[in-house]
Amino acid sequence: MKILKTLPAVVLLTTTLISCGGNDSKEPGKEAEKTAEEKAVTADSGPATKLEGAWEIKRAEGSMGDLNVGTVYEFKGSKLSFGKDGYTNPGSTIVTDSTFSFQANGNELKFMYNYKFNGDTLVVEMQNSGGQIFHMVKK
Contact 95, 49 (CB under 8 A): yes
Query: Residue 95: inside a domain, yes or no?
Result: yes
Of the pLDDT bands very low, low, confident and very high (cuts 50, 70, 90), residue 47 is low
Q: What gap in Å lies between CA 137 and CA 134, rounded to an integer? A: 10
Range in 30-34, 52-56, 72-76, 124-128 the model is least confident about: 30-34
Amino acid identity for residue 16 in this structure: T
CATH of the domain at 89: 2.40.128.280
Find the domain containing 46 and state its range: 2-20+38-138
pLDDT at 57: 98
Query: Residue 30: inside a domain, yes or no?
Result: no
pLDDT at 124: 98
Number of domains in the chain: 1
For the CA atoms of 123, 37, 91, 89, the dihedral, rounded to the nearest 10 degrees, stands at -50
pLDDT digits (tens, 9 = 90+) for 88-119: 999 999 999 999 999 999 999 999 999 999 99
pLDDT at 101: 98
